[in-house]
Amino acid sequence: MASSRHQTTATKQKATTVFPAAITDFWLSPSPTSRLLCGDDVFGVTVDAALEEDEQLTILTTTDGRTRVLLIPAIAATMALEEGQPVDEAGFRRRLEESGIALHGADNLFYFTDKNRETLLGEPDVPSIRPLTKADAQAFQRFQEAASEQDLDDAYVELDHWAVYGAFEDERLVSVASTYPWNGAPLADLGVLTLPSYRGQGHARRLVRAISRHALARNHEPQYRCQFDNHASVAVAESAGLTRFGTWDVISPD
């Protein structure tokens, strides 16, 4: 499993008072194959030779202002990072640029806190929302045809995902949310998309909450990711009761 996972004990204790342990353990607990290379409690760099190809360098910044970099030894060597040397985030990013290493662009990470999780689980289902199955293929195809390619790419909602929920208006499928287990962890990464003419009516908010209850009932913590500058998506996450855990960036595939 690849993730940005190193921290001090004090940081972990602080985080677990807000977010469920499955979330903080995944992001903040050290991997058996990782080793702290350099840094301090505010900024640290950890090397791990077992990282997957698309996560050979990741940067996690939590809402408490602490940044954790996880990378493979080869990239650390390219950046001339050595064990025990003093390094801050500005210096690290300067070396990153000088080494010609590009990042994909940071995603926001949203989760339900322990308190909001309890409220969510006690909430009844909405009649206009239900799980989608293969029997809804035609309705889902019409939904896709009415959405832009960019919206479909950004939301990544698919009928064959682990769980798929839809919101209907006058028997038309107008909003879809889908989720799937993420990175071998008890996290369920979710996406949601509402057709443009039906936005602003609460469909996305209700769908996120409905599919999140589904994930929690199956022992997975809902995970909502969106680009840092996607203000509309951030608004959906916040309206659905999710709380920002931090931002996460990965090495660019190009």
Write the burial class of residue 74 (CB in 10 Å: 0-12 exposed, 13-18 middle, 19+ buried): exposed
C-alpha 169, offset from chain centre: 29
What is the rounded radius of gyration, in angstroms, for the C-alpha atoms of the chain?
Answer: 20
- Domain chopping of the chain, boundaries: 9-101, 111-245
Q: Summarize the confidence of residues 49-78 as an average pLDDT.
A: 95
- What are the tens digits of pLDDT across the range 219-242? 999 999 999 889 999 999 999 999
Considering only the top CATH level, what class is 111-245? alpha beta
Q: Tokens standing for 102?
A: 């590009």
pLDDT confidence band for 17 (50 / 70 / 90) = very low
- What are the tens digits of pLDDT across the range 91-100? 999 999 999 9
Q: Tokens standing for 182?
A: 């993420």
pLDDT of 8 > 50? The answer is no
Consecutive H or E run containing 203: helix 203-217
